[in-house]
Amino acid sequence: MRVVQYIITVVIILCLNFFLPRLMPGDPISTILNEAGADSGLMLTEEARAELLAHYGLDLPLDQQLLQYVEQLLHGDLGWSIRYRAPVADLLASRVLWTVGLVMSATLIAALLGTLLGVTTATHHGRWQDSTTISCVMALGSWPSFVVGVLLILVFAVWLGWLPIGGGSTSGAYYETDFQAAGDIIKHGLLPCLSLIIVSLPGFFMVARTAALRALQGEYIQVARAKGLAERRIVWRHIFPNALLPVVTALAMRLGYALTGAMAVEVVFQYPGMGTLIYEAAHARDYALLQGTFLLIMLTVLTFNLLAEMLYHRLDPRLRRS
Amino acid sequence: MKEHTWPSRIALAVLVIIVLFSLVGPLFLPWAPDELDTPLLGPTSDHPLGTDDVGADVLVTLMTSARLSLLIAGASSILGTSLGTLLGVISGYWRGMGMVIMRLVDIFMALPRLPLIIMLSAFVQPGVGTLVVFFVLFGWPQTARLVRSMTLSEREAGYIESARVVGARDSRILFRHLLPQVVPLATTRFVLEFQHVMIAESSLSFLGLSDPSVATWGRMIHYAFECPSLYISDVWWRWLLPPAAAIMLVALSLSLLNMQVERRFQPWLQR
Amino acid sequence: MRRVGLVLLLVSTLLLAGCSATATPISEPAPTETTTSGNAEVLATATSDSEEQQTAEPVILYYPGSDWGYPSPFGAYLRGPGYTQMSFLFDTLVWRNETEEIGLIATKWSSSEDGLEWTFVIRPDVSFHDGEALTIEDVVFSYTFIAEHSTEFGWSVDLANIASVEAVSEDTVKFVLTNPSPDFDVVTAGVVPIIPEHVWSAVDNPEEYREDDALIGSGPYTLESYSAEEGSYVYVANESYFWGSPVVDRLIFTPVQDSALALETGTVDAASFSGKEVSAVNELLQDTDRSVIEGMDYWVLQIVFNTQSGVFADLAARQTAAISVDRQSLVDQVAPDGAVVANTGIIAPNCGWYAESENVPEYDPDAAAAAVQELGLDDQEVLLITTSTYAREAELIKADLETAGFAVTLQTGDTATVDTLLSEGSFDLAINGHGGNARTTTLRVPDWPAGIYESAAYDELYAKQASELDAELRAQYVAELQQMVTDDLPVLTLYHPRMWCIYDATVFDGWFFTEDGYSMGIPMVLNKMIFIEQE
């Protein structure tokens, strides 16, 4: 049943993916040529344009284009990006790691930090520290991610001059060792990563806090307390694992959105990831690239949703028993 | 344990102030929204936050942009939550129809929401109406699913059965008995939706994916961000920061309010 | 707990490090010294040997970049910056320095009286980056191969006009044309790159050919590394260039989101700005350590009228609209001191083809309001379309038109939507940018007048100038064309943006804007001749 549902969803996604770009006005050729800008210097006659359309198979009837599309997909061929003059699969491959690295690091750190904070505040439930921490975490996390990015650039790149203003690595640098290379990349990733951590912290924090609160009211905690176990031990042995469970599920769901999650932040930092690619593809109306990108994104989300579901079933003892 | 209620009170006050500002604020300023002065003026007594790239007063724009920001978020979340609640109750009450609706929900829930909206927006540059349609279209299923499961358990409660036995009509049971039960749940959903749409819309505007005539806080941030002297002049704090802070305040207030609502209705929500 | 944290950090570090593979330079000379450029520590190297290095510090220039495609003749994006990247690696027969046409691979050239035969004599001492000599066969091959693959080449050079190309001697090539061309040396020989026959003769699909030797040209630079996703290019001086090694040893294009920020933080040593970016220019120049040069773009923002149907099919209506719009205050509002109000003949005043039009419509709101009443235009809905880029200008123009009495609906869409509406004729007014080069082709473009404006007299005159060999007569025709645009108002031009290049003169100070643009008339500051000491 579940499988059928996922298959239907995939089919819908494929259809949307194919038809949507083609139902919209304009074609990629004219977009390339007329892109707003002061430097084009390019003129094309009607015949040359028709020739270009034919060259990219865009003049075929829609059903043939669809057939071609499905056939290419089955061969693992995502098509040719007209704007970037490169195979879509290559473009995606060159970008995916950047984004995944960035979002993974940020999400894992945020999840960990959120859980720690959540559990800590839950044990101080009702005291002023609790309300204050909640308000602070929320206040910090409620800023739009792109504005957080701008502010971080101002502080760390402009005023303090500690970190680079953007990009993925130093252009034209030579590295003596791999560690140097990694260091350079991490240095460039710090600010975007920090922006993402700040905005995704509250989600994990609240989930962990609620779970910890619930666990605190559980009978076994009362028993543990009655047995005279140290409060520290109770917290880390009993509450923390309980708080971690929903966080892990939330983490899996969140990672599904890894490819688009950092879009605005990537644009702010000119980070060489998927976000900037989508942004540019959308503006240039590059059919093949948009299709490829969204196929990848949708499938990732679906896979991670499925994963989250399975993970939840495995981790939750109540569900496992039944 | 004693609960602190001060955060939610402050939150409510902040929301009221923001709404008031957006509606009557411009009346107290000497500048009309469409009146243009010299572009990119620094803060003066005339323009507390200076002017933007075409010479419009930033403070007035901040106030007037609040209207569409709040309207889009409000309309989308009210419509989405109502639709979801209604369909949820119906599908919980009539099992047959419920199956159909739930399959639809499953499919919608499997579609990644924000990426899809981003993609749609990339093509159509949505205006206010289209934006609301997008957010409602992808916003109702979550509510429907939650409301349905609550309705199902509510059905099991004795009073519905008794109402049936005494011959109450379906519509009466639906509207008099079931709907009031799910209102708290719908309320928290509404607050969360409001917050979600608010932030999603500002991201779309920031990325330049919505109709540029949709003047919202996100659009303000977009223009401020495009300003070539953003980082090297006073533009960032007097033009970029105010709308961002406004978004932050609304989102934060909603979070705090939602916690209060959840706390009030905890017995229902914890089931 | 701490251990878990460490493991997670390690995992993320590894993940990030995994990306490093994509960022490793193509070639890896041994690092020799460390310099600091702004806040970014850079391990730099001199390509020369160590003795030379003690005498002269290598010049490293950082400039803002983004991805403009794989810089082969078939891989670069079809835009000015894409061509520019490619031009560092590949030379053409003819090029332009600051003020005039110069020979690069060609030393001299001439045409027959009738403009049908062009001969070019090539320089004897030119070699490709791989050391192979550039021969006359390579020139013939380049023109034949690119003509065969003109679709993949993409740049609109009229290669179909070449009836034959042949080597008449060891150093002379002769082109025979189908139609006479007065400026074949500029519009064709100045654009087509010379590529090595020994590389490309075996290539069937040049657009997808990405082997290392695809970038072997004879230009003043060689490519050290290119990262598409990051949008960075690193060029190294070609020491065996026929005019000697370029003065900038390493030319690095680094991805930058905000040029002003990059200059401020020292991430780049120079950056160019145009039009509305004047606000950043003013801020940046408060620091007197910076130097600046100023130029003007050939590009123009214009209101396109739908002359085929609707309200503005009538010339009187177009003239009324033209005097309703306050172009000066528009410029003052969107880019004070950042643009100049256009003369209404499309061609920019700094371009060689420019001729000042007469009877330019002057802003006169009262006359406009009266004319709107008189012509009965006030009860007609006018649809104004534009892309979001010009939304601000559109708002101001809409306000001006409404003051005059027009009822205007403003619709903004993305470029593709607007283009479709334009070609369908589903609009009354459109605001879009146009041109961008310094050639007469600016007067004859696909989105205008085709479909929107039809005038047999205009088309005829345009064709006449394109093949007119007499320079004076041709200039006169081009001036007439500009006057026709002013009189008949298929478009009302609004403004030409100014351009600036702001730079740190201690790093490099040879910047100039090329008069009438380089190659196909590209107005950018990145003419490779700025790096060359020409003999």
Tens digit of pLDDT at every position of chain B (271 positions):
445 677 788 889 999 999 998 888 777 777 777 777 888 888 888 888 888 887 888 898 899 899 999 999 999 999 999 999 999 988 888 878 888 888 888 778 777 777 788 878 877 778 899 999 999 998 898 899 888 888 887 777 777 777 777 777 777 777 777 888 888 888 888 988 998 899 889 988 888 888 777 889 998 998 899 888 899 888 899 999 999 999 999 998 988 888 887 777 665 444 3
Give the residue-averaged pLDDT of C63-91. 90
- pLDDT score at C146: 94
- 8 Å CB contact of B38 and C283: no
Asked if residue A287 has pLDDT above 90, the reply is no
Greater model confidence, C248 or B213: C248
Q: Which helix (H) or strand (E) holds C234?
A: strand C232-237
Asked if residue C112 has pLDDT above 60, the reply is yes
To the nearest whole Å, the CA of B33 is away from the closest chain A CA by: 24
Q: Which residues of A118-152 are buried (b: 16+ CB within 10 A; e: fewer)?
A: bbbbbbebeeeebbebbbebbbbbbbbbbbbbbbb
In percent, how much of chain C has pLDDT > 90?
Answer: 54
- 8 Å CB contact of B34 and C276: no
Which phi and psi angles does C243 have, rounded to 5°? -100, 20
User: Cα–Cα distance between C104 and C65 in angstroms, integer?
Assistant: 26
- Cα distances (Å, whole numbers) of residue C505 to B184, C289, C502: 67, 8, 9
Counting one residue from B and one from C, how many pairs have CB atoms under 8 Å apart?
A: 62
pLDDT digits (tens, 9 = 90+) for C418-455: 777 777 788 899 998 887 778 888 887 654 544 678 88
Residue C32 — very low, low, confident or very high, per pLDDT cuts 50/70/90? Answer: very low
3 state SS for C247-311? CCCEEEEEECCCHHHHHHCCCCCEEEEEHHHHHHHHHHCCCCCCEEEEEECCCEEEEEECCCCCH
Instruction: From chain A, pick out residues whose CB is under 8 angstroms from the CB of C1.
Output: 116, 236
Instruction: From chain A, pick out residues whose CB is under 8 angstroms from the CB of B110.
Output: 5-6, 9, 302, 305
- 8 Å CB contact of C260 and B39: no
> What radius of gyration, in Å, describes the C-alpha atoms of chain B?
22
pLDDT digits (tens, 9 = 90+) for C124-147: 989 999 999 999 999 999 999 999
- pLDDT score at A49: 65
In chain A, what is the greatest distance between 2 CA atoms, to the nearest angstrom?
Answer: 87
pLDDT digits (tens, 9 = 90+) for A150-194: 999 999 999 999 999 988 888 888 888 888 888 999 999 999 999
Greater model confidence, B14 or C80: B14
Point out the residue among A46, A102, A168 whose CB comes nearest to the CB of C230. Answer: A168
- pLDDT score at B271: 36
- pLDDT score at B77: 95
Greater model confidence, C450 or C58: C58
To the nearest whole Å, the CA of B162 is away from the closest chain A CA by: 32
- Cα distances (Å, whole numbers) of residue A303 to A248, A254, B111: 15, 12, 11
- How many other C-beta atoms can be found within 10 angstroms of the C-beta atom of residue B210? 28
* C-interface mutation test, from B53, B232, B238, most C Cβ less than 10 A away: B232
Asked if residue C376 has pLDDT above 80, the reply is yes
Residue C15 — very low, low, confident or very high, per pLDDT cuts 50/70/90? Answer: very low
- pLDDT score at A261: 78
- pLDDT score at A231: 74
Cα A59 to chain center, whole Å? 35
In percent, how much of chain C has pLDDT > 70?
Answer: 87
Point out the residue among A35, A163, A189 whose CB comes nearest to the CB of C415. Answer: A35
Lowest-pLDDT range of B159-168, B257-266, C46-55, C274-283: C46-55
- pLDDT score at A147: 92
- pLDDT score at C22: 40
- 8 Å CB contact of B1 and A263: no
Point out the residue among A44, A84, A171 whose CB comes nearest to the CB of C253. Answer: A171
AA letter at A81:
S
Residue C47 — very low, low, confident or very high, per pLDDT cuts 50/70/90? Answer: very low
Residue A316 — very low, low, confident or very high, per pLDDT cuts 50/70/90? Answer: low
Structure tokens at C311: 């309200």
Helix axes C391-404, C365-375, angle to 10 degrees: 70
User: Cα–Cα distance between C397 and C208 in angstroms, integer?
Assistant: 45
Greater model confidence, B226 or A311: B226
Instruction: From chain C, pick out residues whose CB is under 8 angstroms from the CB of A109.
Output: 8-9, 12
- 8 Å CB contact of B229 and C279: yes
A302 touches chain B (CB under 8 A): yes
- pLDDT score at A48: 63
Range picked from A89-93, A309-313, C447-451 for highest mean pLDDT: A89-93
- pLDDT score at C303: 93
- pLDDT score at A46: 61
Cα C97 to chain center, whole Å? 16
- Cα distances (Å, whole numbers) of residue B135 to A72, B73, B76, B251, C74: 33, 9, 6, 17, 43
Identify whether the C-beta of residue A265 lies closer than 8 Å to the C-beta of residue A145: yes
In percent, how much of chain A has pLDDT > 70?
Answer: 85
Asked if residue C17 has pLDDT above 50, the reply is no
- pLDDT score at C483: 95
AA letter at C487:
D
To the nearest whole Å, the CA of C497 is away from the closest chain B CA by: 15
Asked if residue A71 has pLDDT above 80, the reply is yes
- pLDDT score at C28: 40
- Cα distances (Å, whole numbers) of residue B23 to A162, B66, B67, B245, C327: 43, 9, 7, 18, 34
- 8 Å CB contact of A185 and C70: no
* B-interface mutation test, from C263, C276, C408, most B Cβ less than 10 A away: C276
- pLDDT score at B241: 93
* C-interface mutation test, from B41, B51, B54, most C Cβ less than 10 A away: B54
- pLDDT score at A105: 92
Give the residue-averaged pLDDT of C174-182. 93
- pLDDT score at C16: 45
Asked if residue C20 has pLDDT above 70, the reply is no
pLDDT digits (tens, 9 = 90+) for A213-237: 888 777 777 777 777 777 777 778 7
Task: Write the ipTM.
Answer: 0.84
C10 touches chain A (CB under 8 A): no
To the nearest whole Å, the CA of C453 is away from the closest chain B CA by: 28
Residue of chain B minimizing CA distance to C278: B228
Structure tokens at C326: 């306050």
Instruction: From chain B, pick out residues whose CB is under 8 angstroms from the CB of A158.
Output: 231
Point out the residue among A40, A94, A182 whose CB comes nearest to the CB of C22. Answer: A94
Asked if residue C466 has pLDDT above 80, the reply is yes
Greater model confidence, C24 or A266: A266
- pLDDT score at A304: 80
Residue of chain B minimizing CA distance to A134: B256
